[in-house]
Homo-oligomer: A and B are copies of this chain.
Amino acid sequence: MDSIKILAPATVANVSCGYDVLGFCLDQVGDEMIIRKVEKKGIFISKIEGFDLPYDTALNVAGVSALEMYNHIDVDFGFEIEIYKKIKPGSGIGSSAASAVGSVFGMNELLGRPFNKTQLTTFAIKGEAIASKCEHADNLAPAIFGGFTLVKSIAPVQVLEIPTPPNLYATVVHPQIEIKTSEARAILPPEIPMDKAITQWANVGSLVHALHTNDYQLIKDSLVDVVVEPYRSKLIPHFESVKKAVVDSGALGCGISGSGPSIFSLSEGPENAKNAAEAIRSIFSKTDIAFDIYVGKINTEGVKILKG
């Protein structure tokens, strides 16, 4: 096999209480990429469609993660990457993570899978760091492993696969405004009150327990962020009214996806997820902000081959 077409999914990081550690994988939107073996040694970005991104391998997220893997193998050929970008950069649903994951996943398949998912995450972190100015894996892990993940540490990479309840659906809205990850990080205080930290780790522990026990009510009770959301929600117009409408519509919870501006919600069953989408639409359609809405099951597969 000399060429492979893959789908690198969008992801939601943080998941309310789990800032910097929790994430889950979306089923409705992802980047397509073709990775091809070529005679010339090296990594080459040969085509980019969808968004304006750099062709210089060392400046391109997919290129940097590919280079990181390439430096760990000894082959007498190179790889060419075509990127059909569907996830808008800066949307808050893991656009850079999808790029970083897609190239290394595809190369690994073409090489006969010499690396496991944890090693792929380690390579992809280098690409992700180009976009977000810091090394983190809370979008990479769900894109690679699928489902819900907890990044226990990034040095070394340790990713836990948390079970996904069978009837859990996600609704995500991407309001088309720009928030830079670096800005969204800078708005957070360097220290947080002990009592809020305790509430946050109680919620992380109970969300993990709820996912293990398919306890939808407990998922609802645990989707609370007392640390990050109070700061970042100010950067997202209409966040509070969207959140209220979504929860009132029957969703389990609603929060900021990654560093925003996307907003995610989780629901028990497809009807509640669709109702959440309608609740969101009813608010954003009255504004002059363009928006996309995605509704679907949690993607438990992660990055996958479209054509081998």
B-binding residues in A (CB < 8 A): 17-22, 150-153, 158, 160, 162, 188-194, 197-198, 200-209, 212, 218, 221-222, 227
A180 to B177 Cα, complex, angstroms: 53
What residues of B have a CB within 8 angstroms of the CB of A152 in the complex? 202-203, 205-206, 218, 221-222
A193 to B204 Cα, complex, angstroms: 18
What residues of B have a CB within 8 angstroms of the CB of A204 in the complex? 201-202, 204-205
What residues of B have a CB within 8 angstroms of the CB of A153 in the complex? 202
What residues of B have a CB within 8 angstroms of the CB of A206 in the complex? 150, 152, 160
A19 to B206 Cα, complex, angstroms: 14
Least distance between A263 CB and chain B CB atoms (Å): 22
What residues of B have a CB within 8 angstroms of the CB of A201 in the complex? 17-19, 21, 197, 200-201, 204-205
A17 to B227 Cα, complex, angstroms: 18
Least distance between A244 CB and chain B CB atoms (Å): 21
A198 & B158 in contact (Cβ 8 Å cutoff): no
A192 & B202 in contact (Cβ 8 Å cutoff): no
A290 to B209 Cα, complex, angstroms: 39
A120 to B112 Cα, complex, angstroms: 58
Least distance between A33 CB and chain B CB atoms (Å): 30
What residues of B have a CB within 8 angstroms of the CB of A191 in the complex? 191-194
A136 to B153 Cα, complex, angstroms: 30
A209 & B21 in contact (Cβ 8 Å cutoff): no
A160 & B218 in contact (Cβ 8 Å cutoff): yes
Least distance between A193 CB and chain B CB atoms (Å): 6
What residues of B have a CB within 8 angstroms of the CB of A221 in the complex? 152, 158
A210, closest chain B residue (CB): B160
What residues of B have a CB within 8 angstroms of the CB of A150 in the complex? 202, 205-206, 209
Contact status of A197 and B208, CB under 8 A, knowing A152-B202, A158-B221: no
7 pairs, A vs B, C-beta closer than 8 Å: A160-B209, A191-B191, A191-B194, A197-B201, A202-B204, A205-B205, A208-B208
A192 & B189 in contact (Cβ 8 Å cutoff): no
Least distance between A203 CB and chain B CB atoms (Å): 7
Least distance between A10 CB and chain B CB atoms (Å): 22
Which of A21, A198, A207 is packed against the most chain B CB atoms within 10 Å?
A198
What residues of B have a CB within 8 angstroms of the CB of A203 in the complex? 152
What residues of B have a CB within 8 angstroms of the CB of A158 in the complex? 221
What residues of B have a CB within 8 angstroms of the CB of A189 in the complex? 194
Least distance between A160 CB and chain B CB atoms (Å): 5
A185, closest chain B residue (CB): B194
